[in-house]
A and B are shown apart, each in its own frame.
Chain A
Amino acid sequence: MARKLLLEHINVPQINTLAVYREKGGYRAVEKAIKNMSPEDVVEEVKKSGLRGRGGAGFPTGMKWSFLAKPEGVPRYLVCNADESEPGTFKDRYLMTHIPHALIEGMIVSSYALGAKTSYIYVRGEMMPQIRILERAIEEAKAAGFLGKNILGSGYDLELYVQPGGGAYICGEETALLESLEGKRGNPRIKPPFPAIAGLYNCPTVVNNVESIAAVVPILNIGAEEYAKIGIERSTGTKLISASGNINKPGVYEIELGVPVEEFIYSDEYCGGIANGKRLKAVVAGGSSVPILPANLILKTAKGDNRLMTYESLADGGFATGTMLGSGGFVVFDEDQCIVRNTWNFTRFYHHESCGQCSPCREGTGWMEKVLHRLEHGHGNLSDMDLLVDVSKKIEGNTICPLGDAAAWPVASAIRHFRDEFEWHVTHGEESQTGNYGLAHYADPLEPVI
């Protein structure tokens, strides 16, 4: 069995309460940090652990923390990104629902490390039940002396608040999130300045994903060295993977980074194989924004090595033949799924969620949606695929925030790997309305096509 650091006690009854959480060793990291370590020690420990941001970009957390500006007399903030809006991702919801104190404890330790005296957890508004759960956990922690004034007699004060969003994917982008937290529309800011210099209320701010913050707790408990032993190369520790789509066991799994993709899909410890005895067609491995890969390329790299669940292995081959670990939103497509329809669906999502500030994204996502709509509905042209690639290239890299890239990559990768299926929608317009292109040459290499 793989080692569990975040979800070890997920099945313990009432682990959502402070009492049971403490029985299982909870709040030891707060005691250790506040009583025995300086804030700098905590930052150093997180650096040594090799922890990389779990929100999608994979930026080293300890390094991000060390960039935080510390001008005299100016407050600093820690803001937790619990917007969880990347399609395919639902791990933060799971963690907050079942072990809310893991996040609260992580927030206390991380705030201490950064010298933040007020911290916010920005939770997407649709997660009202989770907001209530977190608020209850904060009350419990406060009553036990882990929050508020003079925590554990150390002289360190911390107030922690939960802030609801209003339903907008873009508010997962850290500067849009800060705008939203200031009571404004979620329009991303131009960087620089980065939040570490001028973030919330123009003060130095760190924004971290729920899972990154929760991971700080086991890092302090077992020690950075022990944590860094788990995983491979620069992919250290464990990672929560949200598995969905056509698999036998959808759900959230904590993996040791480095598990082979094949094992993750087919073993009973994780996804349990493709549902209904079907065959694997494609996978979106890291949330809707990352390139989609056909079965043959997700299981093995272009060089023929087994593909592993690590930042490096999933990216092997670049965008030509690889993808990204992203947020760990692992969406599995069986042989009956239509890639054209899904690409249209994802593109509609990005068009809907574009904040509208930058014209390449606002207009480009709309054009791509229109062209994909006509392809999906059997009215496309053979030149549409080049048109889509052209539009996607004009969005990519030309916007204030990476939502533009996130909209461009799924389209470009779908056409790169599944061009013949798009062409079939043009040449077999009517048939494509009732029939399905099927697997073709992307066949699950574990079971050769007859």
Chain B
Amino acid sequence: MLSVKKNEPVEFQEDLISKFDELVKRYPEGRQKSALLPMLHLVQAQFGWLSVTAMDKVASYLKIEPIEVYEVATFYTMFFLQPRGKYVLEVCRTGPCCLVGAERIMKHIENRLGVKENEVTPDGLFSWRGIECVAACGMGPVLQIGPEYTYHEHLTEEGVDQLVESLRNKG
């Protein structure tokens, strides 16, 4: 769902715009819309999620209709349409990872963080969710954390505790 309530003013700084400029050069003349997914990743990396204001700005940069951005942002699961915690722990919940304990790990994360899937901890630091196969089946259970998508493999309950602790200390 698009969030229309929580709409903060959004400023695209020069370094972001220059990254956009680099991106559109990868495609033939008139095909700059191809830059949409990589641009949305850059915007989300900077702001943590995609607000309608941010998407409108992307549309105007690409000279396309805002709806062309919304329909893409709502289709792909990596894009957050609501604010999330600073660290979103995304645990693979598909078959092969479940054979080696992914469901147990998700339960543990829920208890440990004290919030349900997709909710944010009161300190604003954490969210978590189950996601579908991330092509790391031999290293399962696994979780990833954006925006750099660092991987944590062969998860155990203790490993999750240590990870949460170290992220909390980092703040």
Contacts and interface: CB of A to CB of B under 8 A. Distances in A.
A128 B147 contact: yes
Contacts of A345: 93-95, 98
B96 to A, nearest CB: 4
A127 B135 contact: yes
A167 B96 contact: no
Contacts of B99: 244-246, 331, 333, 337, 342
A196 interface: no
A329 interface: yes
B137 A90 contact: yes
Contacts of B34: 163, 181-183
A183 B139 CA distance: 32
Nearest to B37: A166
Given A87-B95, A88-B95, A183 B150 contact: no
Contact of A185 (B71, B94, B132, B138): B71
Contacts of A26: none
Contacts of B139: 90, 250
Interface in A145-192: 159, 161, 163-169, 180-186
A306 interface: no
Interface string A402-446: 000000000000000000000000000000000000000000000
A397 interface: no
Contacts of A125: 37, 41, 76, 78, 149
Given A183-B37, A346-B95, A353-B132, A244 B138 contact: yes
Contact of A85 (B71, B98, B135): B135
A126 interface: yes
A331 B76 contact: no
Interface size on B, as a range, is 35 or more
Nearest to A75: B28
Contacts of B167: none
A201 B27 CA distance: 10
Contact of B132 (A89, A169, A244, A337): A169
Interface of A: 75, 84-90, 92-93, 118, 124-129, 159, 161, 163-169, 180-186, 201, 242-246, 250-252, 284, 288, 329, 331, 333, 337, 341-342, 345-346, 349, 352-353, 355
Interface of B: 26, 28, 31, 33-38, 40-41, 62, 68, 71-72, 75-79, 93-96, 98-100, 131-140, 144, 146-151
Task: Please give me the 5 A-B residue pairs with the lowest Cβ-Cβ distance, nearest first.
Answer: A166-B76, A167-B78, A183-B36, A183-B33, A244-B137
28 contacts: A87-B95, A90-B135, A90-B136, A90-B137, A93-B135, A93-B136, A127-B135, A163-B37, A164-B41, A165-B37, A166-B37, A166-B72, A166-B75, A166-B77, A166-B78, A167-B77, A168-B75, A183-B34, A183-B35, A184-B68, A185-B72, A245-B96, A245-B100, A284-B95, A331-B96, A341-B98, A345-B98, A349-B133
